[in-house]
Amino acid sequence: MYKIFKCFLFIPIAVLFQQTSFAQEQKNEIDLLVDAMCVCITSDVAAEQGPDSEEVETCFEDVMGKKMDEMDQMFADSSKTEQENEDYFQSEILPEMLTKVTSTCPEVITYFMQAAQEEANQQADSLRNSYELGIQLSEAGSYDAAIREFDKALVIERSKELYNFRGVAKVKKGDYYAALSDFDRALEIDPTFSLTLANMGFAKLQIGDFNNAIADLTKALDIDSLNSKAYNNLGLAYIYTEQYDLAQKALDISIEQDSTSLDAWNNRGYNFMTQELYENSIVDFRKALSIDSTYINANFNLGFSYENLQFYEKALEYYTKSVKYLDTNPNIYNRRGLVHHELENNEAAIKDFKKAFELDSTELTYLANVAYIHSYIEDYESAIEVYDELLSISPDNLDILYQKAIAEYDNQDYKNALVDFSETLNIEKTNPEIYDYRARTHFKLENYEEAIDDYTKSIEIYNADPVVFKERGESYLKLGQTEKACTDFKKAKALDSEDVDDLIAENCQDN
């Protein structure tokens, strides 16, 4: 019954005293219902057990002479819809009932007002508890639990702050599109809520919608310019859209507003690094590390900057620190492997490339680097084994097949090399280097006419490589076609080759 009668509290006061004419039957039912309320709602049982208790319901049934489900329908018209009956009750029945209650037993109104206030207080406590707990859980990394608490709070109050906080939890969880939906709802309530605009810009940044991220972040900063994080994210969005000068300005402001921001120092360094201004990037990355030496992004980027300046020992130092602080990122191992190779630490390089592939077996580059190092140290058998493993994973990968053929050639396995070069050329017919390699393979197998054919196809694609003219000339010599050989040697000489001087001296005095 409490659920039925607490709606009294939400009728405007001006309505309480409206007078409406009713059929005598409805007046009698209203009088009887008010009498029941006066008796049952103000009883000691109601005070102790609440108006929804079975005892109070029994009291109503005794006074009314009806069951509860009958009372719920006693003002309903079966020929009308549920909404029409509700509208009629609110506009006609309820005002009359309130007038009667007010004049007969006003303590019922007082009771419901007190009950409503208690419920409001309970809801406020529940709202505050869910709000605060949601924030705590989000900050602790329990994003699903945080979202559930914000869900509870939003049932009680749909506020821009709650939608914003739930959106932030979803962003941290990586559910960016769901987060954007929450941010949209917050902005429907307040389009000038700068915090949500900034968060929306960050979410769009994560999904690669860089131009709209810039628009949202700019709008947020127009409303509230004291937001270091928003300037940082704006700078990053400008970097991704290759607007480096604007990125520099945004990141400068971010650092001015918060000189301890690791992300801002790192991202300004990244802006320099993207433009290959490695000396400048190193300054900013080192500044970030002076604030927090364990900051993984700055350690990795510092290693990358030193690598590109060919300071390989320094690069190795910072990649090794990166592995120490984050040992589950395959790209760190891969970059360190490349530096090990530059330092001729090839066994260490192989170990790092294998670890990278172990962490991410979908990235075939890591395993291909293992094969490359084996070939580099002339362990061709091992290289071929790795290439076979790669081809078992990606059988249609022409680049891997081509690299395997080169390893077979270098291992003097010319027959298998010929097969793999030919299979590659069945599909890839525009790369002159593949024709060059197959021509050399034919030459090693003493297939000189086939070698000449492949060199000729290579020259048709690119005719400025002196080595190809020299090698085709040597093939002509093997067939006794000295005149054609000398023509090729002289073309190689014209292309600044010094390797043909002896060949010309020995074979071309009469040509």
Rounded alpha-carbon distances, angstroms, from residue 383 to 47, 235, 263, 347, 395:
87, 44, 41, 13, 17
Q: Is residue 486 part of a domain?
A: yes
Contacts of 122 by beta carbon, 8 Å cutoff, 6+ apart: none
Q: Is residue 375 part of a domain?
A: no
Among candidate residues 218, 205, 216, the one with its CA nearest the CA of residue 176: 205
Contacts of 215 by beta carbon, 8 Å cutoff, 6+ apart: 201
Considering only residues 76 and 319, tell me which one the structure prediction assigns the higher pLDDT: 319
Report pLDDT digits (tens) over 93-139.
777 777 776 777 777 666 666 565 555 555 555 556 677 887 888 88
Cα 157 versus chain centre, distance:
30
Q: Is residue 42 part of a domain?
A: yes
- Flag the least confident range among 157-161, 317-321, 394-398, 465-469: 157-161
Burial class (CB in 10 A: 0-12, 13-18, 19+), 90: middle
Residue 237 sits in a domain of what CATH number?
Answer: 1.25.40.10
From CA 349, how far away is CA 414, in angstroms rounded? Answer: 29
Q: Is residue 344 part of a domain?
A: no
From CA 103, how far away is CA 101, in angstroms rounded? Answer: 5
* Percentage of the chain modeled with pLDDT above 90: 68
Q: Is residue 70 part of a domain?
A: yes
User: pTM above 0.75?
Assistant: no
pLDDT tops 60 at residue 14: no
Among candidate residues 150, 160, 238, the one with its CA nearest the CA of residue 199: 160
User: Do 101 and 6 lie in a common domain?
Assistant: yes
Element holding 486 (H helix, E strand): helix 482-494
Please give the pLDDT value at position 153. Answer: 82
Please give the pLDDT value at position 37. Answer: 73
Please give the pLDDT value at position 54. Answer: 77
Q: How many CA atoms lie within 13 A of 371 on its CB side?
A: 25
Q: Is residue 240 part of a domain?
A: yes
- Flag the least confident range among 79-93, 103-117, 249-263: 103-117
Domain count, the chain: 3
CA geometry: angle 150, 153, 155, nearest 5 deg: 115
From CA 464, how far away is CA 494, in angstroms rounded? Answer: 10
Q: How many CA atoms lie within 13 A of 265 on its CB side?
A: 22
Considering only residues 173 and 61, tell me which one the structure prediction assigns the higher pLDDT: 173
CB 34 within 8 A of CB 4: no
The residue type at 29: E
DSSP 482: H
From CA 345, how far away is CA 339, in angstroms rounded? Answer: 8
Tokens 């009887």 sit on residue: 32
Among candidate residues 101, 113, 110, 109, the one with its CA nearest the CA of residue 33: 101
Output the average pLDDT for the chain. 88
**For the chain, counts of helices (H) and of strands (E):** 31, 0
Q: What is the 3-state secondary structure (H, E, C) of 304-356?
A: HHHHHCCCHHHHHHHHHHHHHHCCCCHHHHHHHHHHHHHCCCHHHHHHHHHHH
Q: Is residue 295 part of a domain?
A: no
Residue 447, domain extent:
430-511
Domain boundary among 228, 258, 288: 258
pLDDT tops 50 at residue 365: yes
Domain boundary among 57, 79, 105: 105
- Flag the least confident range among 141-155, 191-205, 492-506: 141-155
pLDDT tops 70 at residue 7: no
Contacts of 143 by beta carbon, 8 Å cutoff, 6+ apart: 137, 169, 170, 172, 173
pLDDT tops 60 at residue 496: yes
- Residues 357-383 have a mean pLDDT of 98
- Flag the least confident range among 82-86, 218-222, 394-398, 422-426: 82-86
The residue type at 406: I
- Flag the least confident range among 44-58, 126-140, 428-442: 44-58
From CA 90, how far away is CA 80, in angstroms rounded? Answer: 15
Tokens 């005794």 sit on residue: 62
CB 371 within 8 A of CB 383: yes
Please give the pLDDT value at position 172. Answer: 93
Domain boundary among 258, 279, 304: 258
Please give the pLDDT value at position 419. Answer: 98
Q: Is residue 60 part of a domain?
A: yes
Q: What is the 3-state secondary structure (H, E, C) of 375-406?
A: HHCCCHHHHHHHHHHHHHHCCCCHHHHHHHHH
pLDDT band of 44, cuts 50, 70, 90: low
The DSSP secondary structure of 80-146, one letter per residue, reads S-HHHHHHHIIIIIHHHHHHHHHHH-THHHHHHHHHHHHHHHHHHHHHHHHHHHHHHHHHTT-HHHH
- Flag the least confident range among 93-102, 164-173, 411-420, 485-494: 93-102
